[in-house]
Amino acid sequence: MIGRLNHVAIAVKDLAASTALYRDTLGARVSQPLPQPEHGVTVVFVELPNTKIELLEPMGADSPIARFLERNADGGIHHICYEVDDILAARDRLKAQGARVLGSGEPRIGAHGKPVLFLHPKDFCGTLVELEQA
Ligand code: CO
């Protein structure tokens, strides 16, 4: 059911320093910072040949990323995103198998303008999983 790895999201405290690390130390192509107030984050996309890394900096104290960074002071992998062909069919199949879909269970528009859902980390090996409509 799941397809390509769309991105790995890394929570960071200092977006400018983290962007410089990926650009200058690791030699990656990076985007400009993209504020996403509806998700409480500012994002930089790191473009790799086969996938993307998203650097997420919290926007505001009640950002979910701010809470993550309270527990992970150095930052860390926040979620991984898999593509699915049909997000509603994927959701229904997962729910039927007992997986927990976060929030209302209705897809929201994610960072790339496509519908996304998040799955409970306790149901997926301790990793927050995002599904994105391919
Ligand atoms: Co994501």
Q: Write down the pTM of the prediction.
A: 0.93
Identify the CA nearest to 12 among candidates 64, 87, 73: 73
What domain count does the chain have? 1
Buried/exposed 72-94: b ≥16 CB within 10 Å, e otherwise: eeebeebbbbbbbeebeebbeeb
Cα of 129 from ligand 1 centre, angstroms = 9
Domain that holds residue 102: 2-133
Q: Compute CA distances 19 → 29, 92, 102, whole Å.
A: 10, 37, 29
* Rounded distance between C-alpha atoms, residue 88 and residue 116, angstroms: 10
Cα of 37 from ligand 1 centre, angstroms = 14
Let me know if 130 is a catalytic residue: yes
Segment 70-121, tens digit of pLDDT: 999 999 999 999 999 999 999 999 999 999 999 999 999 988 889 999 999 9
Identify the CA nearest to 1 among candidates 62, 121, 88, 102: 88
Segment 29-47, tens digit of pLDDT: 999 999 998 889 999 999 9
CATH code where residue 104 lies: 3.10.180.10
Cα of 96 from ligand 1 centre, angstroms = 24
Catalytic residue among 54, 57, 83, 130: 130
Identify the CA nearest to 105 among candidates 120, 93, 117, 121: 117
